[in-house]
Structures are given as C-alpha cells and as structure tokens.
Homo-oligomer: A and B are copies of this chain.
C-alpha cells in the first residue's frame, strides 16, 4: 500500500473513532459504505474490539460479507464473539468450507458447534469432513470443492463440464482426472483443455499430477507448493483417492501465518496474532516472559562458572573487562552458524545424517574466523594492555569462535533429529552453552599464560 493511502486511512480511522465517540453512526456508515472491502478490512484491523463490532454492524450486508472474508481468523473469531448470535450464522454460511475451518479453529467449541448446526446438510458434511482431519494437516486446509474429469472425456465434454460447474468450485483452472475408484490419474489445466482439439481425449492431454497425502503437515505441503510455483495440487487419502485440492493462494496464506510465527519465536516471543497497538501490555509481557526466564535461568550458569574463577578475577581484575566482548563474539559466531545450517535444513540442502560433514565445515569456518578476530584482538590488546593479556584474548577468541561455530552448526541438526523446530530450539542452547564454555576456556587459557 502506498504511503499516502496509509496516511488517508489513518485520518479516516481517527475520524471514524471521533464519530463513534459522539454516537454519530450515520456519518460512520456513510463514510464506510463507499470504501472497498479491502480498505474496510484494514480499518477494522486497527480499531478496538468494541468499535470493531459496532462499525461492522453499520456495513451494508453484501459488503459486510466480503469484509469478513478478508479478516484474519482471529479477528473473525473476535467479531463472532462480539456479535453474539446477531448475523453470525449468515456470515458463516458465506465462507468457503476451508475458510470455515480456519475460523472454527479460533472459536470456542460451543460457538463453533452452534455455527455448524446452522449449515444445511451438504455444507455441514463438507465442513465436518475437513474438521475430521488431524490439526495442522493439509486435510484441514484443502478445498473439497473441485471439478474432476475422466480419462475418456473429450476436450469438448470436459469444457462443458467445467462450464456447468463454474460457480461451485474453488478453482476451474486446475482439473484433476480420476478413475472410477476416484483415484487420481493426472491433471489438466483449463488452458490445455482450451488449446486442444474438441475430440481429443483427456487422457492424451493430461500431465503428471502432483499430490499430497491428506494427513501430511500443512506447512510442509504449502512450502512445497510455493517452492515449485505449482498452481494447485491434488490431495489424496491413503488409497490414492482424491479428497481435495490445494491451491497456491492457500499455500501463500499458510506460509504467511507460519512465517509470522517463526519470526516471532526466533526472536524469543510468542506470536501476538492481533495487531500490535491493540494488544494490551499485559499480553505483550506474557508473550515474552517465558522465554526471558528460560534464557535467564540458562545464564545463571555463567554466574556459577565465574564464581569458580573468582579468585583468579580478584588477582587479575583486568580479565573481567573482556568478558562481555568474548562471550558476545562467541554468541554471534554460534548464531551465524545456526542461521546458515537452519536455512540449509529448511531447503533440504542437508539432513541430520550430514552431521559429521557439517561439524567439520563449521569447525574449519570457526577456526578461520577465530584466526582473523584473534590476531586482531591480540595486536590491539597487546598494544593497549600487555603482551600476555593480548595473547590470552587472541587465543580465547580463536578457541571460542571454533567451538561456537561447531556448536551452532550442530545444534539445529540435533533439534531436527529430536523433531523440534531448529530455529527455536537452537538459540537458548547455543547462548547458554557457548557462554559457559567460553568462560571456562578463557580462564583456563588465562591461568596457563599468566601463571596464576
């Protein structure tokens, strides 16, 4: 969105909030109903919960449904809760089956089941079928509304079939071909169908089909779809029978959701799910405190290590000056290695069984980094302090960088091997381990060289 559009939006929101404070609903309604659904969606995202429900009720009915579709499931759920029974059944009916599942995942069970009851038998069956698949599976995110073709259809038959089902399907551009047992044999695009002779048979037109199993992890399938730029793929059950299709725009939606969570978790915060400015401070605190405590408890290890060397510190206080620099550099080196290896894992460039190769490469990389930083550290410290202190700092940097890179490189592989998210798991362990080990290395080297 261009910047001036955003500015306008902000001004509009301020205006709307003023009107609401004055209970001037007519003006709000007039302001809103000339806007595009996407603009209203963005306005609703920025309002407080109470205002949001109010403003929503002021929208014309058709507009309201399109705006609702554009909201994230969390905000949809907030809205449904706020609106109580008012209008919610109709909103729910207007959503596609897979969008209904996104929303149901957010709603309290009682509200969810009440909404489900409001659907007619067919719609309920479709939605319930999706709900029957495991959480986080592609089954919950696929669309059960698709158009299938048969091998022996002619291109003309197939086009007629598409023509007759234009309205009901999620997409008409991707057409799976099935046999009598509903097993997927291939897929045809509408473009291929239109380019064919009328009498050509679908079996001669169809290309190989990309499939996902219905219980597969939704994120993994989405990532595969996005990486290949596939327009859609067929979702099949254990017996290769077609149960749904999954399109690129759904993949993009899942990845936005997941990436947002990943970025947060890597920064040590739980995802907020609601816009920042409308999240209460207490919730911000809750999203951060656990991780902060875990890391702080880990950091008490450094206190313990240092207290072991307290006598050394008392003798040579100057050693204390370099503690933040040394463990900071160790932490940075470890994080760099972890970032690279986590990325390579995500791209399937490496697998957990490559652990020895990764370890060797990271040790070499860390050693070379340590050599560069250590030489620099040695020269500078020797000049400012004394030769021996320079030697201690130089050697410690060398050792810490090598250890940190190795630990940072291996940690994501271990995380993957025990099936936890490498990006989230690695950070606290690297910092705790590298900090403590780095300090031990530092004081061992210092004691040896300074002979204390």
Contact surface of A with B, Cβ cutoff 8 Å:
1, 6, 10, 36, 38, 42, 45-46, 162-163, 166-167, 172-173, 190-191, 194-195, 208, 224, 226-229, 231, 248-253, 256, 259-260, 263-264, 266-269, 272, 275-277, 281-282, 284-285, 287-289, 291-293, 295-296, 299-300, 302-303, 306-307, 310, 313-314, 317-318, 320-325, 327-329, 332-333, 335-336, 338-341, 343-344, 347-351, 354, 357-358, 361, 364-365, 368-369, 372-373, 376-377, 431, 435, 439
A223: nearest residue on chain B (CB-CB)? B256
A281-B361, A288-B336, A295-B329 known; A275+B347 contact, CB < 8 A: yes
Question: 5 nearest interchain CB pairs?
Answer: A267-B339, A276-B344, A229-B249, A302-B324, A320-B320
Chain B residues whose C-beta falls within 8 Å of the C-beta of A335 in the assembled complex: 267-268
Contact of A162 with B194 at beta-carbon distance under 8 Å, contacts A299-B324, A344-B276, A372-B289 already known: yes
Query: Inside 8 A of A172's CB, which chain B residues have their CB?
Result: 190-191, 194
Q: Is the CB of A191 within 8 A of B166?
A: yes
The answer to whether B300 and A325 touch across the interface, beta carbons within 8 angstroms, is yes
Given A249-B248, A291-B332, A431-B328, check contact A296 B166 (CB 8 Å).
no
Asked if residues A327 and B324 are in contact (CB atoms below 8 Å), the reply is yes
- Most chain B beta-carbon contacts within 10 A, residue among A172, A252, A266: A252
State the Cβ distance, A144 to closest chain B Cβ, in Å. 19
Instruction: Determine whether the beta carbon of B285 is less than 8 Å from that of A369.
Output: yes
A328–B431 Cα distance when bound, in Å, is: 9
What is the bound-complex CA distance between A289 and B332, given in angstroms?
Answer: 11
Instruction: Report A231 CB to chain B, min CB distance, Å.
Output: 7
Tell me the bound Cα distance from A81 to B145 in angstroms: 47
Chain A binding site: helix, strand, loop or mixed by DSSP?
Answer: helix
- Do residues A272 and B340 form an inter-chain contact, with CB atoms below 8 A? yes
In the complex, chain B residues whose CB is within 8 Å of the CB of A260: 343, 347
A324 to B437, CA, bound (A): 13
Q: Contact between A281 and B194 (Cβ–Cβ < 8 Å)?
A: no
Q: Is the CB of A321 within 8 A of B303?
A: yes
Residue of B nearest to A249 (CB): B229
Taking a contact as CB atoms under 8 Å apart, the answer to whether A313 and B320 are in contact is yes
Q: Which of B256, B289, B295, B325 contacts A303 (CB 8 A)?
A: B325
Quick check: A365 and B296 within 8 Å, CB to CB? no
- Known: A276-B344, A284-B340; 15 extra A-B contacts, CB below 8 A, are A6-B348, A166-B194, A172-B191, A226-B256, A248-B249, A251-B252, A267-B339, A268-B339, A276-B350, A302-B328, A307-B321, A310-B321, A313-B317, A320-B323, A324-B439
